[in-house]
Amino acid sequence: MHPQGMSSRVSPLTVDLLAQDSKPLPPGLKMTGNHQPEARTIPFSRYTDPAFAKLEMERLWLRTWQVTCRTEDIPNIGDRVPYDVGTGLSLVIVRSGANEFKAFYNACRHRGTRLVNAPGGGDTIRCPFHGWQWKPDGALKEVPCQWDFNGISGGSHDLKEVQVAVWEGFIFVNPDPDAAPLKDALGVLPQAFEGRGHAERYTFAHVSKKIRANWKTVLEAFLEAYHVIETHNDAMPFTGDANTSYDIWDTGAGHISRLITPSAVPSPHLGDDASTQIAADGVAAFFAMAMPGVPMPALDASKGNARAQLAEWRRGLMKMGLGLDMSNHCDSELIDSTQFHMFPNFGVWYGDGLPLLYQFLPHGDNPNESVFNVRLTMPLPANGVRPPAAKINHLDFDEYFSDKAPEFGPLSHIFDQDLSNLPYIQQGMHSAAPGAAHQTLGTYMEQRIQYFQNVLADKLGVN
Ligand code: FES
Ligand SMILES: [Fe+2]
C-alpha cells in the first residue's frame, strides 16, 4: 500500500492522533474516503490558455452547482448581491421572500445593461439606463413609456431565473436548467456536517482578493499541506504537515475531498525529539492572538495529551467569550485544520480550529487572474441573535492581508505567505520547457489536486 503520510515519535499520523482524542469523534472526522484518483497528466496550458478558460466557462461554470454567497449576506427581502464568474456569467442573487431566494441573469431585459453592481436592497431592482423596474421575485413592475413597447405582456419581460438551492446557509446556483438537484452534487457533505452545520454561524471577516494567478492555481495551493515545509516554515514547530490525512469521496455526482492537518504537534520533519511543549504553546499563542486579552493556558506536555489540554482551554474560551457550551466538541474540532473541498471551487472548513470558507473564481477573461474570496466564520452567540455578516473587504492585486485585512488576525500572515508564491507559480507555468510543461504530483499528499483535475477534465471532455 502507498504510504499514507510520514510520522515521528512525537507526531503520529492524523488517524492515530484522532484515536487519542478525549471526546468521541463527529461524523466529519470519523469518515474515511472511498476513492483514489488515477494518475493523469495535467498540462500547464490548462492554467494559462485562454481557449481552455473559454471551455471552462461553457462546460463547467454554465453547467455546475456552485456556491455564490450566504443567506446572511441578504438578510431582508429585496436584498441582493451580484455574483460574477469572469465575464461569462453574471447573476443577481436576491432574497425574494422571508425564506425564498432567487438568482437572475444580471442583464436588463430592455437593452442588456448590467443591473446590479454592488450589494443593495429595497423592493425594486431598477435599471440605471432607462429605469425599467422589477420586484424582488423578478416580476416586471414598471416600464417608462410602456405605450411604446408592443411585445410586453403577461410576464414576458420578467427577469430570467436560474436554479437556486440552499444548504446550511450557503446559496448555490446552477445555470443549467436540466441539472440534477444540488443534493447530488453535495455528495457526502450533508453527512459530514450533520450536527456541526454552518447555518448557525456568521461571517466575522470577509475578504475578496484579486490574484495574478489562475483560479485553479490558487485553489490547488490550498488543497495540500505539503507546502508548509517551505511556504509556512515558521509554523513547523506546531503544525503537523507530512502527517496530514487526505480523503476523497466520489459518489458519482458528488466530488468531495478533505484534509485534516493536526495542530499542537511538531512537524514530523523536525524529528523524534522535537518539543511537544513548544508545539502546544505555539498553537495557544496563535489562538490567543486571535482573541487579544484572553488568559494563556498553563499547558504541561509532560502530563500527557497536550492537544487535549489545549482543546479544553479553548472550550473554556468559547464558554467565557461567547457563552457557548462546546463540551461535546472533540479536541480535533477545536484545534485542528480540517478542510473539505466540493467541486469545483468551494472550500468549507470544519470545526473551530480554522473556521474558514473559500471560494475561487476566474477574474475577467484572463486565465492569469482570479478572485479569492475568504471568510472567517464564528458560531452564533449563545443568545442566538445573529450579528450582521461582515462587509466585503476588497483587496487589489498588490494589496496584502497583513496591511489591509487586520480582521484576519494571525491568519493574515499565513495568507500573505501563500499569496506571495501564486504569481510565480502562474509565471513558471508559462515558461516551462516544452515536453515538461505539466504537473508532477505526489500520490498521497497531492491526491486532492489530481482528483479535482480528473473531475474537471471529465466535465470538460478533454481526456
Ligand atoms: S437598458 Fe435597462 S432600462 Fe434600458
Ligand atoms: Fe498555505
* Cis-peptide, bond into residue 50, ω within 30° of zero: no
Q: What is the pLDDT of residues 368-382, one digit of tens each?
A: 999 999 999 999 999
Centre of ligand 1 to C-alpha 126, Å, is 9
Taking CA atoms only, the protein residue closest to ligand 1 atom 4 is: 130
Domains and CATH numbers, the chain: 14-47+196-460 (3.90.380.10), 66-178 (2.102.10.10)
Mention every residue, 6+ apart, whose C-beta is less than 8 A from residue 285.
296
At residue 358, does pLDDT exceed 90? yes
Ligand 1 atom nearest the C-alpha of 127 is 2
The amino acid at 24: P
Q: Ligand 1 site: residues with CB under 6 angstroms?
A: 108, 110-111, 113, 127, 129-132
* CA-based R_g, the chain, Å: 23
Show the DSSP H helices in 27-68 as ranges: 27-30, 45-48, 50-59
Closest CA to 198 of 340, 50, 365, 383: 340
At residue 290, does pLDDT exceed 90? no
Contact 353/260 with Cβ under 8 angstroms?
no
CA distances from 92 to 84, 114, 116, 135 (A): 9, 10, 7, 13
Half-sphere exposure of 362 (CA within 13 A, CB side): 25
Ligand 1 atom nearest the C-alpha of 108 is 2
Closest CA to 337 of 270, 420, 243: 243
Q: What is the pLDDT of residues 65-101, one digit of tens each?
A: 999 999 999 999 999 999 999 999 999 999 999 999 9
pTM confidence score: 0.97
Rounding to the nearest 10 degrees, give the CA dihedral for residues 201, 407, 424, 42. 0
Q: What is the pLDDT of residues 140-164, one digit of tens each?
A: 999 999 999 999 999 999 999 999 9
Within 10 Å of residue 463's Cβ, how many Cβ atoms?
A: 9
Ligand nearest to the CA of 228: 2
Contact 187/342 with Cβ under 8 angstroms?
yes
State whether residue 31 is helix, strand or coil: coil
| pLDDT score at 293 | 86
How is residue 316 written as a grid cell?
473554556
Average pLDDT over residues 2-17: 97
Centre of ligand 2 to C-alpha 118, Å, is 30
Pocket test for ligand 1, best of 92, 117, 129 (most atoms within 8 A of CB): 129
Range of lowest pLDDT (1-15, 284-298, 348-362) = 284-298
Q: What is the pLDDT of residues 161-203, one digit of tens each?
A: 999 999 999 999 999 999 999 999 999 999 999 988 899 999 9
43: DSSP letter: B
| pLDDT score at 1 | 84
Pocket test for ligand 1, best of 130, 142, 157 (most atoms within 8 A of CB): 130
| pLDDT score at 128 | 98
| pLDDT score at 455 | 98
Taking CA atoms only, the protein residue closest to ligand 1 atom 1 is: 111
* Cis-peptide, bond into residue 423, ω within 30° of zero: no
Strand order in the sheet with 170-174: 66-70, 170-174, 161-167, 100-105, 89-97, 80-85
Q: What is the pLDDT of residues 201-214, one digit of tens each?
A: 999 999 999 999 99
State the average pLDDT for the chain.
97
How would you label 193-214 residue by residue, b for 16+ Cβ within 10 Å and e otherwise? beebebeebbbbbbbebbbbbb
